[in-house]
Structure 1
Amino acid sequence: MKLLRRAFLLLPLLASVAQAQTAAPPALELVVLGSGGPGATGRAGSSHAVLVDGVPRILVDAGPGSFARLGEAKLALGQLDILLLTHLHADHVGELPGLVKARAVSSGRPITLKIFGPAGQKARQRDDADFPSTRRLVELLFGKQGAFGYLRDFSAPLSFQVTDIPASTRQPRVLLDEGGLRISAIAGHHRDAPAVIYRIDHGGKSLTFSGDIDPQGHAALRRIAADTSLLVVNSVVLDPPDSPPVLYTLHTAPTQTGEIAADVRAGQLLLAHLSPAVDGRREAVQAAIRQHYAGPLVWAEDGLRITP
């Protein structure tokens, strides 16, 4: 009789466990593969994987070190087919060949990678270097005469669909809309480097990635990020005058981050692409943001998983 009573008492627990095991995965989930910047600080360079209905589908940037973090996260790559590049600085695209090769060997079936990124920009002065377009970068890396052209048929037939997003994109533009997954973009501003801000919507949830933007990109971020479930903002500088002046022509300060997060009514705020200066003064950074934004605030770490 006692055994029957115990079994009866365990039934609700067993039912809840079974329900949890069969529960649908979240519509969107973010995995931080790289939370750092260009310095060798122990963090991988900027990179995020996005799971759609529990399946890794999207990679946002491919900073150095993200290859190893991807393996540590034990994410299956068989359906990862979308790459969103915020801009083409080395700390955001330096791991691209390794990650593309990892995807190539993940499946014996033909693979088409959809890659989105900024259009090119000519040098302003003679001694400046041009910024290539995303299409040109992919050609230089993976084209027939590219540095890693062998990957096109190394493991499985591999092709690329590349879309350049021009700096003239001043209103949100839909890049992809299929199966309930919608990806939009708008031009950002990162001083002389062409930049793109992305938003991903699915299942009533949304993720918005600022990328590296200076104050000239704030209006665009506000336009695309309204009511976003999770706002991911790169955090490199302290409030003036505590960072080198030149960095304020490239990045967004904490008080500005708080203002934007409040203005767009972000459900959560994730501080990513952390510099040692910001990481070392978290209390001051958080206090500056809290002057305007009262919602949930999370600090990125390599391997962090977050559901909006």
Structure 2
Amino acid sequence: MRSLLGAVVAVVVCVVAGSPPAAAAEMKVTLLGTGTPTPRLSSFSASTLIEAGPERLLFDLGRGSTIRLFQKSIPLGSITAHFLTHLHSDHVVGLPDMWLSGWIGTPWASRKGPMVVFGPKGTVAMTENLTKAFSEDIRIRIDDEHYPPEGVAFAAADIGPGVVYERNGVRVSAIEVNHGEKIKPALGYVVEFDGKKVVLSGDTKPDPRVEKAAEGADLLIHEVAVIDPELIKTYPNYRAIEDHHTSPEEAGRIFTEAKPKLAVYSHIVFATVKPVQDVPEEALIARTRTSYQGPLVVGRDLTSFVISDHVAAFAPDGSPITPLTGSH
């Protein structure tokens, strides 16, 4: 695995034009997509950007991740590595867009080297089949627009638990999580830099491995699910969906035990009989407060966090957010 990782990181493209990466001693986290397969305009599906030193790391590539990066003036080709938690469509449907659009010779893309992708078993096969599926597009663009073939190659690796990426002082470790008996392996990630730690739960039922990994973390980004019982009567498949995720009460208990500096909800499953365009925060907060009184942010697309000697949260418009506490 280490020889493969060495080959992978050797071809990582350097950062090109766009908004500057996080300062040397900081980590910056941006929620690009906080939603699910539900096609809400306000919450694209799962994707999180972490910037640490010169590294720009993208976790999951849900619907609209390229659009959110464009909104942040971050060139698609400047992402140094991509990590998948599992292969459900709402976590990978944006991969072909990131891959192919990121290759286009423009100020907002221009990947010159292979797209570095880490994920559970099946990731390499997926990239190989995508290359076959888009072979005509690739042929035409090389022939007609003279893009470098290296920029549309994949440097992909199937990974398991453990350290999977180390570069420029940034360490990424994968942890196995419980997203159900038939969705294996499913991964969460721990990102460490300059004594700081961010934990992403991935899609999971309540899992002590997430709790342990997140002990004392600066930021714990955890999924959550609220499903109307009436909906399950009409659409029984929602029972399986509910069984594969974490309720607000369960998430609150994890936050209470792990004691991160800040707990954040993302990948918010919110399903009602009559679909709603926006996820109401009140239902999540009230149920979470039955088991957790610490600082909490309900993530929205483009909510961001800067981790230095403390954790600062910012709304999509850049204004500061005061995390909610049990006293509010």
Match of 2:97 in 1: 98
Match of 1:48 in 2: 48
Match of 2:113 in 1: 111
The answer on whether the counterparts of 2:76 and 2:111 sit within 8 Å (CA) in structure 1 is no
Output the CA distance in 2 between the equivalents of 1:96 and 1:112.
14
Match of 1:246 in 2: 240
Which amino acid in the other structure matches residue 193 of structure 1? I
Output the CA distance in 2 between the equivalents of 1:45 and 1:201.
24
Picking from 225, 229, 233, the partner of 2:214 is 225
What is the Cα deviation at residue 280 of structure 1? 4.6
Are positions 1:174 and 2:163 aligned together?
yes
Which amino acid in the other structure matches residue 197 of structure 1? G
Percent of residue pairs identical = 29
Match of 2:281 in 1: 282
Match of 1:185 in 2: 174
List per-residue Cα deviations over 1:218-266 (Å, max 9, x = no partner): 0221232222111111122259899753333210111111111121221
The answer on whether the counterparts of 2:66 and 2:76 sit within 8 Å (CA) in structure 1 is no
Match of 2:16 in 1: none
Indicate the larger mover: 71-80 or 271-280.
Answer: 271-280
Output the CA distance in 1 between the equivalents of 2:109 and 2:265.
34
Q: For residues 33 and 26 of structure 1, do their structure 2 counterparts lie closer, same or farther at Cα, with a shift above 3 Å needed?
A: farther
Output the CA distance in 2 between the equivalents of 1:305 and 1:296.
15
Picking from 255, 266, 273, the partner of 2:267 is 273
The answer on whether the counterparts of 2:222 and 2:264 sit within 8 Å (CA) in structure 1 is yes
- Per the normalisation by structure 1, the TM-score is 0.76
Which amino acid in the other structure matches residue 136 of structure 1? A
What is the Cα deviation at residue 161 of structure 1? 2.5
Output the CA distance in 2 between the equivalents of 1:207 and 1:256.
20
Match of 2:313 in 1: none
The answer on whether the counterparts of 2:221 and 2:266 sit within 8 Å (CA) in structure 1 is yes
Output the CA distance in 1 between the equivalents of 2:215 and 2:231.
30
List per-residue Cα deviations over 1:49-86 (Å, max 9, x = no partner): 11123x56111111112221221111134431211111
The answer on whether the counterparts of 1:206 and 1:230 sit within 8 Å (CA) in structure 2 is yes
Tell me the SS of whatever aligns to 1:138. helix
What is the Cα deviation at residue 200 of structure 1? 0.7
Output the CA distance in 2 between the equivalents of 1:179 and 1:202.
9
Q: For residues 148 and 190 of structure 1, do their structure 2 counterparts lie closer, same or farther at Cα, with a shift above 3 Å needed?
A: farther
Tell me the SS of whatever aligns to 1:261. helix
- RMSD over aligned CA atoms reads 2.8
The answer on whether the counterparts of 1:86 and 1:118 sit within 8 Å (CA) in structure 2 is yes
Larger Rg computed on CA atoms: 1
What is the Cα deviation at residue 288 of structure 1? 2.6
The answer on whether the counterparts of 1:270 and 1:297 sit within 8 Å (CA) in structure 2 is yes
Q: For residues 77 and 26 of structure 1, do their structure 2 counterparts lie closer, same or farther at Cα, with a shift above 3 Å needed?
A: farther
List per-residue Cα deviations over 1:3-56 (Å, max 9, x = no partner): xxxxxxxxxxxxxxxxxxxx9465211112111110112121111111123x56
Tell me the SS of whatever aligns to 1:307. strand
Match of 1:291 in 2: 290
The answer on whether the counterparts of 2:227 and 2:269 sit within 8 Å (CA) in structure 1 is no
Match of 1:203 in 2: 194
Match of 1:82 in 2: 81
The answer on whether the counterparts of 2:82 and 2:118 sit within 8 Å (CA) in structure 1 is yes
- Per the normalisation by structure 2, the TM-score is 0.72
Tell me the SS of whatever aligns to 1:111. coil
Output the CA distance in 2 between the equivalents of 1:280 and 1:107.
32
Q: For residues 256 and 71 of structure 1, do their structure 2 counterparts lie closer, same or farther at Cα, with a shift above 3 Å needed?
A: same
Picking from 205, 221, 224, the partner of 1:214 is 205
Map 1:68-79 → 2, pairs under 5 A = 68-79=67-78
The answer on whether the counterparts of 1:31 and 1:303 sit within 8 Å (CA) in structure 2 is yes
The answer on whether the counterparts of 1:32 and 1:301 sit within 8 Å (CA) in structure 2 is yes
Output the CA distance in 2 between the equivalents of 1:182 and 1:270.
21
Tell me the SS of whatever aligns to 1:221. helix
